[in-house]
Amino acid sequence: AQTVTQSQPEMSVQEAETVTLSCTYDTSESDYYLFWYKQPPSRQMILVIRQEAYKQQNATENRFSVNFQKAAKSFSLKISDSQLGDAAMYFCAYRSARTGTASKLTFGTGTRLQVTL
């Protein structure tokens, strides 16, 4: 079974600075998808960014980018120019690309990000 590990329960960053959230995963599969979800205090789950394992290029969405290291099974999220609205819990998630896996997501335990002035 796949596992996702987020080793940083809490992180803090100053406004306008850059922060990197870590995620590692364990799988024997070669094709899969990785996601970062943001959960603000409103409890809503918001997709931040996704990466397909067969793509070597790291995904980028505005101030959010990932460092995907397939061999190391690492998928870190970099937030540039941090804003107060970035304060939230961030979850890393894995999904197999195998047919028959029915779109199941395996989540990490989350990293709570604080943004300070």
Partner 1 sequence: NAGVTQTPKFQVLKTGQSMTLQCAQDMNHEYMSWYRQDPGMGLRLIHYSVGAGITDQGEVPNGYNVSRSTTEDFPLRLLSAAPSQTSVYFCASKNGGQFNSPLHFGNGTRLTVT
The residue ranges that bind partner 1 (CB under 8 A) are 4, 9, 33, 35, 42-45, 47, 50, 52, 91, 97, 102-105, 107-110
Nearer to partner 1, 2 or 20 (CB): 2
CB of 17 to partner 1, least distance (A): 26
Which three-class secondary structure state does DSSP give residue 68? strand
Sequence-ordered list of residues with C-beta below 8 angstroms from that of 108, at least 6 positions apart, any chain? 4, 5, 6, 23, 91, 92, 93
CA–CA distance from 80 to each of 63, 64, 66 (Å)? 5, 7, 11
CB of 45 to partner 1, least distance (A): 4
Query: Quick one: how far is CA 44 from the chain centroid?
Result: 16
Nearer to partner 1, 68 or 110 (CB): 110
Nearer to partner 1, 19 or 53 (CB): 53
